Structure 1
Amino acid sequence: MNDNAPRFGMVAGEASGDLLAGLLLAGLRARWPELTAQGIGGPRMVAQGFEPWWPLDKLSVFGYVDALWNLRELLSIRKQLGDRLLNLPLRQRPSAFIGIDAPDFNFGLEQRLREGGIKTVHFVCPSIWAWRAERVEKIKRSADHVLCLFPFEPELLKQHGIAASYVGHPLADAIPLEPPKAAARGALGLAEQDVVVALLPGSRRSEIGYIAEPLLKAAVLMQQARPDLRFVMPMAPGLRGLIAPMVKAHAPNLNLMLLDGRSHEALAACDVSLVASGTATLEAALFKRPMVIAYRMHALNWWRMKGRNYQPWVGLPNVLAREFLVPELIQDACTPQALAREGLAWLDDHARYARAQARFEEQHQMLRCNTALRASDAIAQVIGV
């Protein structure tokens, strides 16, 4: 082991963070082949040589209610991780700690580590422009540098004295500009002439409990209107035992293929997607697939959130487009009937479908800027290497 190789503490809190962190680690390792990285993460990080002290599913909670139920364990893990990093011998301490999203967990940890002399980088600017402006002061206390996915974010942070860099989105580099539709359909056993709808209910157990049922019921309605439709539903690792009984209960006769993982193949293969709000909406846009964005949550979470939005859009493709490019059906509007109606509408309006694909192409080009290289350049400046 090269003692001069950088060491990184890292925390990713859910599947989307694991995906981002895995792509980031690949770029960091290209620059520093002998780096070490430890903390909380998932399989994509492990594939890049990451050492998980806790699995990321320990942090995969959904909203305020889930966080309250798990608060004692979350605080305990955060304290233990901070203790472990700060109590390492000086030569073994991290060159920097990189928090991947999960701001409610990471900001408190980052602040403690920063006060203890460890440089901190936060990857993914919280959507202060959309929901949580009060987080600005937390970011300022916690992060030496913020890596931003979207080009308008660094200037917003600069106004508050926070150092930041626009690095683009690693998914825009990883996903080809021309989606491999034929190859994906071949891999999934789908025919060229099939009309395929992808159902993506989220990656966390708690959100699936709210979102999978209306998506499945919407698919049943769509199949009643169009018996030729085929459906695919990719599932995050370990969730088949949760989702399969829901399929049996709500859509037993649906022409549905359940997939363990393989979300990118599902999006490449499909014509339209019904997708839970979050990173998956951006993935659908990068695959140039028109979508209907769905989201439901606990009533208390919704009550807390609904008065805090500063702009009319929730889904990332709409935020980037600055218009309702794709429908958003949130909370009470997220009904099977509305989801089915909007999903079928994409299949019947070819001009609208083509316009959406053209805008998705523009977004892909904007976000595709070698994120791994830009991020490693920014991190190198932070740690002085």
Structure 2
Amino acid sequence: MRIFISTGEVSGDMQAALLVAALRRQAEIKGYSLEITALGGPQTAAAGAQLLGDTTAIGAVGIWESLPYFIPTLQMQARVRRYLQENPVDVAILIDYMGPNIGIGNLIKGRFPEIPIIYYIAPQEWVWSLGSRNTNQIVNFSDRILAIFPQEARYFAAKGAKVTWVGHPLIDRITAYPSRHQARENLGIATEEIAIALLPASRQQEIRYLMPIIFQAAATLQAQFPLVRFWIPLSLEKYRADIERGILQYNLRASLVENKTDVLAAADLAIAKSGTVNLELALLEVPQVVVYRVSQITAWVARHLLHFSIPFMAPPNLVQMKEIVPELLQDEVTPEAIVNQVIQLFPNSTKREQMLTEYRQMRQVLGGEGAGDRAAIEILNAGKT
């Protein structure tokens, strides 16, 4: 059975890797042999897919920010077209990565209509207020949507899509994380230290717009609290030099490490950009402050021309459509605001305990273990019809 997967950016690469592992488990049970080709990244490749192209570093949020990736994205789509012409597949899987994957979905539907298309983790159209164009395209070219959020499933079903809610795959991923004690031992964190995870970037734009502000806030915190120390997981090797320069510039007591799981599991709290990592932290019961910024041009266009409006940005808040973690967006993202929010989440604080309670309530809404395997069964069945 031949499967094609398309995803992008660091979080999509992680989700694709989890899915590839689940597909291989379920294929073995069913007695299928698999050939999986993907647009993805190193995690997808390590899980057993053959990479058609690395898309982890050609994604951005925003209009201005996306321009440098326009031509590389078109080149990737052309590569997909040539590949599918020469190598017919049994099923195509799209994972998040809205703009490029809508293009690929329309390409497959128009040029290769015999290939079933399954959208696993559809773009968050159920959150954004940008009209119905993207939603209609996703519904029209998708033979089935495998939803990970209950509200996502309800939204696309109401729009006419065939939808199966499989639950959230991070539930399974979290079970493989080390215990807090083991993670702190792995990193050499002393019992009395307050370990703060800094997660400034998985995209180039975030290095520019977020990292300096987060590092300024970190410098203020360490000046006020001698027991504070920072841990920064490296999302992509290409960001190493920028982050190391930032650590030196702000004279931070910080360690840049490649093992993200240890950092998240060991942290007392986190300052994180908006993304999948917010949900990882929530499932690990690590209090966090979420921040996000785009360029002023993109922000102005979104507000005044596109009338962009969202109830929340961070995934933990989207699960139940309530503020569980504080969000600082655009002009609200200042060192002073970050420091103020972080101090309220120090150990033994009332706000910290409230957040932990709401994390546990949120966890109950995301479904039980086995989401990846449920998705894999749907995909294998679709490919054999």
Aligned partner of 1:302 in structure 2 is 299
SS at match of 1:289: coil
Aligned partner of 1:174 in structure 2 is 173
Is the Cα–Cα contact under 8 Å of residues 151 and 319 in structure 2 kept in the other structure?
no
**Which structure 2 residue ranges, 5 or more long, are not aligned?**
none
> Which of these residues, 247, 258, 263, is aligned with residue 260 of structure 2?
263
Higher mean C-alpha displacement, 155-164 vs 272-281: 155-164
Higher mean C-alpha displacement, 213-222 vs 237-246: 237-246
- Pairwise CA distance, 1:138: 1.4
Say if 1:58 and 1:194 are closer, same or farther in 2 by CA, change over 3 A.
closer
Aligned partner of 1:3 in structure 2 is none
- Matched AA of 2:26: R
Aligned partner of 2:62 in structure 1 is 63
Q: How does 1:125-274 map to 2 (within 5 A)?
A: 125-131=122-128, 132-134=130-132, 135-176=134-175, 180-238=179-237, 239-249=239-249, 251-252=250-251, 254-260=252-258, 262-274=259-271
Q: How does 1:87-106 map to 2 (within 5 A)?
A: 87-88=85-86, 92-106=87-101
The answer to whether the aligner puts 1:283 opposite 2:280 as a matched pair is: yes
When the two structures are superposed, what TM-score results if normalisation uses the length of structure 2?
0.92
- Pairwise CA distance, 1:78: 0.7
Say if 1:35 and 1:177 are closer, same or farther in 2 by CA, change over 3 A.
closer
- Pairwise CA distance, 1:130: 1.4
Is the Cα–Cα contact under 8 Å of residues 177 and 364 in structure 1 kept in the other structure?
no
**Which structure 1 residue ranges, 5 or more long, are not aligned?**
1-5
- Find the aligned partners of 2:19 and 2:198 in 1 and give their Cα distance: 27
SS at match of 1:209: helix
Deviation string for 1:68-119 (max 9, x for gaps)? 223122112212212221x12xxx4111111111110011111221231211
- Pairwise CA distance, 1:310: 4.6
- Pairwise CA distance, 1:184: 0.4
- Find the aligned partners of 2:332 and 2:123 in 1 and give their Cα distance: 25
Work out the percentage of aligned pairs sharing the same amino acid: 28
Deviation string for 1:285-333 (max 9, x for gaps)? 1111111001111112222334645543111111224222221111110
Aligned partner of 2:380 in structure 1 is 380
- Find the aligned partners of 1:179 and 1:286 in 2 and give their Cα distance: 13
Alignment RMSD (CA, Å): 1.9
- Pairwise CA distance, 1:12: 1.7
- Find the aligned partners of 1:74 and 1:330 in 2 and give their Cα distance: 27
Deviation string for 1:152-197 (max 9, x for gaps)? 2222111111111111111111103997111000000101221111
- Matched AA of 2:94: G
Aligned partner of 1:78 in structure 2 is 77
- Find the aligned partners of 1:45 and 1:189 in 2 and give their Cα distance: 30
Higher mean C-alpha displacement, 193-202 vs 351-360: 351-360
Higher mean C-alpha displacement, 101-110 vs 71-80: 71-80
Say if 1:58 and 1:323 are closer, same or farther in 2 by CA, change over 3 A.
closer
- Matched AA of 1:130: V
Is the Cα–Cα contact under 8 Å of residues 62 and 207 in structure 1 kept in the other structure?
no
